[in-house]
Structure 1
Amino acid sequence: MHSLERGEHSVKVPLFSSVSGAKRGDVGGSPELQADAIPAARVLIVDDNADMRQYLTHILSKYVQVEAVADGASALAAIQTQPPDLILSDVMMPRLDGFGLLQTLRTNPRTREIPVILLSARAGEEAIAEGLDAGADDYLIKPFSAQELISRVNAHLQISLLRGEALHAARTALRRKDELLSVVSHELNAPLVSILGWTRLLRANPPNPTLLSTALGTIERSATMQAKLVQDLLDVSRITAGKLRLHLQPTELNAVIEGAIATVTQLAAEADIHLAWTETETTTAVVMGDRERLQQVICNLLTNAIKFTPPGGRVDIHLLLVSGSLSLIEDEQAMTKDKGRMTNDRYAEIRVIDTGVGIAADFLPHVFEQFQQAEGTHSAKGLGLGLAIAHHIVELHSGTIQAQSAGEGQGATFIIKLPLLESNH
């Protein structure tokens, strides 16, 4: 807090927060912030009275950057050079008055969102309503106290900051939606082109057994790709809405992994990838889980590994039982936000290790985010939904998932940890 002196009157005021996104102090009474620790917001004062301009500048300049001009026309010139974060404007001025300034600002897309507080000696509900109807964000009646001025300015700067953040978030969401639609269109179109191409070829030529087998295999794979994409999009929709439900029951991870391997075996063979499954424990690992969803997680990890491993490469999957309480994952490569929920003293650990293209260090923290793609590395092909879905499903099982990689060209390891049922202890 800073004290603002006005004659014998001392007003306690909060330090203004920059509308550019600077952090504020804790609400509940934080240590005093230094005025130069954050960039100050910019306030434009518009008043033809030199004494009033000086008074307002004296009050506000300790907390914000202040520029003062004598009329609306000068204000427009200053705004054209550098738009302020807030405008304090008198109503009655020569050349261009406060209402004229407001009208000009509100009709310009570049300036229509700048908050404007009108200052006027005209009191009464009618005057206030006239100012607000003209497009002002607030109306201060002269004379006003320093405390009232500071409170109003601070409030509108904060509102402007929040509005700017909301607008940025909305624009980001729209941009991501456009990007998603573009990629989805491509992902749906590619297998359709393949299906239509082979269908037309078969229709135009009497199919021999070899051609027919190749065509049917390609059509089946393309249709499967489309079905998988649609299912992933539905899962993301359920996750976003918080409607993804699990059917929990005692589930053997050994059987889950074997089912996932059976699903991707043909894909691995076609990609010339050696798929190796190692059970390092003689005891069956049983968790309380949704078998179908857990198999989906393993399939997603295996499919991702196969996609990003060059022909002749290798993908290994290991299952082991680990004793001792699961410690919180502090590694920067850990992706799970809700950590440390497993309290069991034993847990199952599933590792999917590939010899593929690896993951760049700067992309590693984002590998489980929806629609994230990195050129030439994991999640570069497709929408990048599989890993995001896997991450969420593992969290719903009170487990953790993390990605590790020594860098590009060094392969990658994905580690899942799930709490075992008591019967496994």
Structure 2
Amino acid sequence: MKITDTLQNQFELKELELNSLLEVTQAINNNLPEASLYKIYNFTLRANLSIKKLALYVLQEQESLSEQWECKTNFGTNTSFDKVSLPQHFLPIQKISYVRDLDEPSLFGEFDILIPVLHKERVLALVFVSGLKKDIDASSTQTGTTFIQALSNIIIVAIENKKLARRQLAQEAIRKEMEIAQQVQQFLFPKNLPRQPGLSVEASYVPHYSVGGDYYDFIQLTTNYFLVCIADVSGKGIPAALLMSNFQAALRTIARQTMNLKEIVNELNYQVMQSANGENFITFFAAIFDKESRKLLYINAGHIPPLLIYQNQVTQLDQGTVMLGSFQPLPFLNQGVIYDLDDFLLFAYTDGLTETFNANEEEFGIERLEQLLTQQASSELPSLHQEIFDTLTEFNGGKEYDDDITFLSVRVDTSQLMQG
């Protein structure tokens, strides 16, 4: 009779455990949130095994390399273990063990058994329990620890899968965002740059990420006047792309209304302040050339100074104002003027070019760039740009660039241009 009762109890316990696992599986299939799964886990163990004390520690994924363990459920203990850090000496445990054999006298001494939860030989969770029979080899206790281990594994792996699914959705959202930003950015750049007798324009753009914050443009204002510009917006991704898109639209609209550079820059600064609310800024350089008077007007709004190569001399174009979007109105605004330009090369770029580093942490720098441009000043612009990239690659050992790199070259021969 006693043996029959024991078998009956064991059968009922097994049936109870199977029903519990089925309920948990259904809860997982119903896509219940993480907090609800932990509540079901807590209730199932307390109701089915009559466990007196439990603390479940779960490995949390971190952006850094360090691991962090967090107590996700805790009941019946004298200490609130959700406020207690997991001691490091428990982490290597991969088999069911007595706590007293592992722990120095500490708060965890009120538990009897430690049950590790593994997935593909990696410990995902540690379950501290008290209330099962002391004899860890007894069949009933083995049944209890096995059930706890199985239930914990199901719950933890399900939560890990939910996290993985969330990460995949987030990555897909980021991919879509970057795809949209790329499309927006492609519309910013002029499709056709002039290559005609007396006027040649070439641009190169290499984003550090799939979407950068650089912009360049060429606008033929009238028969005698054209405008070239380069800009760099703070920030990346869709916000930067949208801000620069608004900036380009504003520039092209204003340039149809006036050729006064000061008016253009003041209005652009106002537009950036309105669009970015002071959270982003834009460095900007714009120049207008009058082929009839051979005069170049320019304003540099906080941008790295472009270089003018004329009669074997290099001039940095640094007259202007502060970056756009920082102050309204602009605190000062100076316009640079260069007269009597016949045959010249204007080279504008973003700081990713000169701030490329080699293996010795040396910066490419303005001096190397000026020397290269002086030597190659008479080269065709596509060849010049290729030479710049080849020199940069040799300098940094072929590593990926640390920032966006954009440069714009404008070569003018006034004698040929006037004939056109």
TM-score norm. by structure 2 comes to: 0.23
Which structure dedicates a bigger proportion of its chain to strand? 2
Indicate the structure whose relative CO is greater, using CA pairs within 8 Å and at least 6 residues apart: 2
Larger radius of gyration: 2
TM-score norm. by structure 1 comes to: 0.22
